Structure 1
Amino acid sequence: MKNGFFAKTVKQYSSLEEKIEAVGWNTGNIVFTNSIINLLECEIVSEDAEEGTLSNFDQFITTELIWLRENVQPWLSLTKQLEKAGDKPLVPISIGLQSKYFKKDFCLHPEIISILKAMEEKTCFAVRGIYTYDILYKNGIRNMEVIGCPSLYQIPLYQNSFDFLKDYKYGKAVSNFRTFDTDLTEKEYKVLKYLSKNCDGFVEQTFDYIQNINGSDREIDKWIEDSKSIYFDVDTWLLNSKKYNFSIGSRFHGNVMAILSGVPALFLAIDSRTKEMTNFFDLPSLEFEDFDEYRTMEYYRDSTNYDNFIKKYNYNTQNFISYLNKCNINISEKYKEKFSNFLLK
């Protein structure tokens, strides 16, 4: 079965504005997109493709539903992809709700529910975690599997074993944070201040200016401007991540990129999205509100334990592959070989 993947790619010589638009105003999206391309047998197709091109595919893959917001109506990219897919399956990988907390009465727009019910008649959904699964189930969705995020299944493509997560020493740290689209809380200010004093680098993924940094205190702002890196391609991101020995922050894909490059990471759980992922994969995490600014960075590094993550990794990956088989999507030959060899280590 031939799979088309609706995706935007970043053109090397395009303008900054064009690159920002291509990544959907969040460079973490290139990590997700890259994982689909690396792991699955699929071909990138534009949502503006003509019928002649679309007719070559048996089904299509979409990542449009990774940020489902409460009460939001269907948006243009989603409706366009549904129209282009026509009667063919549109496989969503992986659906996730955007909620600050695990809101039990999270309300999906009726039109979104109708779209999901129509989609599930043709394919099985990949969903991020148990919370998303439960909310979708309450809204009548049944044909779905919990698979986490494909980006973490790429480890065998970049590492030969899990040794880098077992034997490590603290050295230089790199950090990441949330989108700076709202005022910082007092706790966020303290954590960001700590990171500015204890980290050697900062990975920025979005393009907002910091809001409300305690009046005249501009040290953090200056540190971010002097230390930040923004990446529009995975290879450069991976290469530069190798300069560090530890990653810490609330950006899921920022920390995933560190892991793929061989650098352990501690996830600061700031919302349900991060918590869903860390819970599913058993990743080392710390509730954001529990972060102690009086602890040393060495303490956080030494307390970052990947034993449970490693124990579950094979099972989770096999579960992901089983889901793909259910959807008639093959894993790439390169990944098949790398994963088989990885299991022997």
Structure 2
Amino acid sequence: MKKYLIRSGMLPTDVFDAAKIIANNSIGGNVGNLIYAYSIYRTLMTEDVEFVPDYYRVNPADAPYINENYDAYFIPLADAFRPDFENTLKSYTKLINRLTIPVYVIGVGVRIDFEPDFTKKNSYDPAVVDFVKAVLKRSSMIGVRGEFTSRYLTHLGFKEGIDHVIIGCPSMYANGRHLRIRDTEINENAIVTINSSKLSPNHVLQFINRSKNEFKHHYFIPQWYKELKMIYLGGPNLEKPKPHYQGKTTDELYVQDRVRYFLNAKSWIDFIGEADFSFGARLHGNITATIAGTPSLIIPKDGRMRELTDYHALNYVAGNELTEQTQIMDLIEKSDFHRCEHVHEENFNRFIHFLNHNGIPHIYEQDLDLVEAPLDKQLQEIQLLPPVKSFIHCSAAEMGERFETVMSNVLEQKNERIVKLKSQVKSHQVRTKHLEGTLNRKAVRIALKTANLFSKKNS
């Protein structure tokens, strides 16, 4: 049985309620990470493999333990080449340089403008170079998200096709080479899911907000960790509110009970798979729709999203094309929801080649058309939790229960940290005492040896 460590906050089979996820930030700040991780788990979780999440812990001091207990370390990353992730990259580099097991980076991207300038120097460039070099000592090749990241690494001196290769977003391969978008009736009576990003330009947010009203049955699916706390506990609201973003519990969609926050990947995929259409400015909000077979329209806001929409041929409209006169129904009429199907098999084959080149075992080794995976069987035996609904629609008893469970989980987490810290201190004390004993014995030997030398010299 192989035992792998993976960068993740929870397994797809973990049944974590909202309180536990809030207490531990098990989604890494964005629930879209669950979709990313789900695909990798499903692809690599063969019958003789056990995965253990690292819970987003990055500590170089853990290297001896990791070397001793795991056969490989998988590090799926999003747009990790960015200023505010630089220190984490440096910590990963220190850790990886101390590891003796294989380390695989299955997807990583650069945060870059919609129209990128690859000649520009970035403050984090040296950290990226050191990180990539460290990974390449422990694996054959790094998988990157798209053309922009590939060109960026090439600009830093790494060779495309040798050091790095474009694999897109692994979440797109959740169902292997099988990708089929259903033909649905998209009209005012359609069931529609909406995703949005507070970081999008105001005119994009305004378009998303007014377009939702074209459909009688619409649901907003937020993704931020802060939004989970808001919907589960009733606050705090998001900082620096924007007029066209649903960032307060008193906003329209929350009051109308049209908000759903998902706690696991499978429930999210199943829910959106029942919809007729999905649209918005979130990458994984619309990738979830795509792998569920639901027609979608994405509005990319920067280069990190653009390189993936281009690579996977996702149906999209650029933000700068939207005006106050743009109508969602007109965009739907012009859309080709099936264009992603035409490139998917080739992209999937390239992803499999990347896995094979690195010697990574996967479920498609014997059958590239495999439909049912070992993870599917496990999930069939688990009762997953439903999405979280808005706090303001809870009874007084349920409100109290939500606060109580969060506080209980927070205290449990603190107690676990205290126990772990005490264990570390005790281990340190034992090691210190051992070193003191060793040093004392060495000191005695040195003293005796010195005395013996003096004795021989004087005789």
Find the aligned partners of 1:50 and 1:113 in 2 and give their Cα distance. 21
Aligned counterpart for 1:176 among listed residues 181, 184, 195: 195
Distance 1:36 1:19 in 2: 25
Q: After superposing the two structures, state which structure 1 stretch, 4-13 or 250-259, moved more.
A: 4-13
Q: 1:43 corresponds to which residue?
A: 50
Say if 2:269 and 2:289, in contact at 8 Å, map to a contact too: yes
Three-state SS of the structure 2 residue aligned to 1:43 is strand
Q: Distance in 1 between matches of 2:355 and 2:368?
A: 17
| Map 1:134-283 → 2, pairs under 5 A | 134-142=151-159, 143-156=163-176, 162=180, 164-165=181-182, 167-170=183-186, 171-178=190-197, 180=198, 185-199=201-215, 200-206=218-224, 207=226, 209=238, 211-214=240-243, 222-226=251-255, 227-283=258-314
2:92 to 79, 94, 97: 79
Report the secondary structure of 2:299's partner residue.
strand
1:5-44 to 2 correspondence within 5 Å?
5-9=6-10, 11-13=15-17, 15=19, 18=22, 21-41=25-45, 43-44=50-51
Contact 1:250/1:274, CA 8 A, preserved across alignment = no
Task: Identify if the C-alpha distance between structure 1 residues 201 and 85 changes in structure 2 by more than 3 Å, giving closer, same or farther.
Answer: farther
Contact 1:64 1:78 in 2 (8 A): no
Give me the whole-angstrom Cα distance separating, in 2, the residues matched to 1:300 and 1:221: 30
Whole-angstrom distance in 2 between the partners of 1:292 and 1:230: 30
1:155-184 deviations in whole A, cap 9, x for unaligned?
A: 359x7x62x34x332122211111x3x6x7
The alpha carbon displacement at 1:113 in A equals: 1.7
The corresponding residue for 1:92 is: 105
Q: Which amino acid aligns with 2:68?
A: S
Q: Equivalents in 2 of 1:132, 1:315: separation in Å?
A: 19
For residue 129 of structure 1, the aligned residue among 129, 133, 146 is 146
Contact kept in structure 2, 1:176 and 1:254, CA below 8 Å:
yes
Q: Give me the whole-angstrom Cα distance separating, in 2, the residues matched to 1:106 and 1:267.
A: 30
Q: 1:210 to 1:103 in 2, by over 3 A?
A: farther
TM-score between the two structures when normalised by the length of structure 2: 0.64
Q: 70, 74, 84: which one pairs with 2:83?
A: 70
Task: Pick which of 240-249 and 25-34 moved more.
Answer: 240-249
Q: What is the one-letter code of the residue matched to 1:225?
A: Y
CA contact (8 A) 2:97 2:134 kept: no
Work out the number of aligned pairs and report it.
333
Aligned to 2:455: none
SS in 2 for 1:259: helix
1:117 aligned onto 2:133? yes
Output the amino acid matched with 1:300.
L
Give the stretch that moved more between structures: 272-281 or 233-242: 233-242
Give the secondary-structure state (helix, strand or coil) at the position aligned to 2:193. Answer: strand
Percent identity (aligned): 19
Q: Distance in 1 between matches of 2:266 and 2:78?
A: 26
Q: Could you tell me how far apart the structure 2 residues matched to 1:185 and 1:341 are? A: 40
- Structure 1 unaligned regions, length at least 5: none
Question: What secondary structure sits across from 2:298 in the alignment?
Answer: strand
Measured in 2, the distance between the counterparts of 1:271 and 1:336 equals 39
Sort the Cα spacing of 1:336 and 1:268 in 2 relative to 1 into closer, same or farther, 3 A: farther
Q: Deviations over 1:38-63 (max 9, x none)?
A: 01145323447785664354322102
Quote the offset at 1:79 in angstroms: 2.8
Instruction: Give distance in 2, aligned partners of 1:330 and 1:218.
Output: 43
Taking the aligned partners of 1:58 and 1:205, their CA distance within structure 2 comes to: 32
Q: Residue type of the partner of 2:80?
A: W
Q: 1:279 to 1:196 in 2, by over 3 A?
A: same
Q: Tell me: CA distance 1:15–1:37, structure 2 relative to 1, closer, same or farther (3 Å).
A: same
Deviation sequence 1:233-253 (CA, Å, 0-9, x none): 012212221342000111111
Q: Deviations over 1:210-253 (max 9, x none)?
A: 734459x9999622324221112012212221342000111111
Asked if 1:303 is matched to 2:321, the reply is no
Is the CA contact (8 Å cut-off) linking 2:168 and 2:312 kept in structure 1? yes
Q: Distance in 2 between matches of 1:196 and 1:23?
A: 27
Answer 1 or 2: which has greater helix percent.
2
Question: Is the alpha carbon distance of 1:321 and 1:168 closer, same or farther for their aligned partners in structure 2, counting shifts above 3 Å?
Answer: same
Q: State the AA in 2 paired with 1:70.
A: P
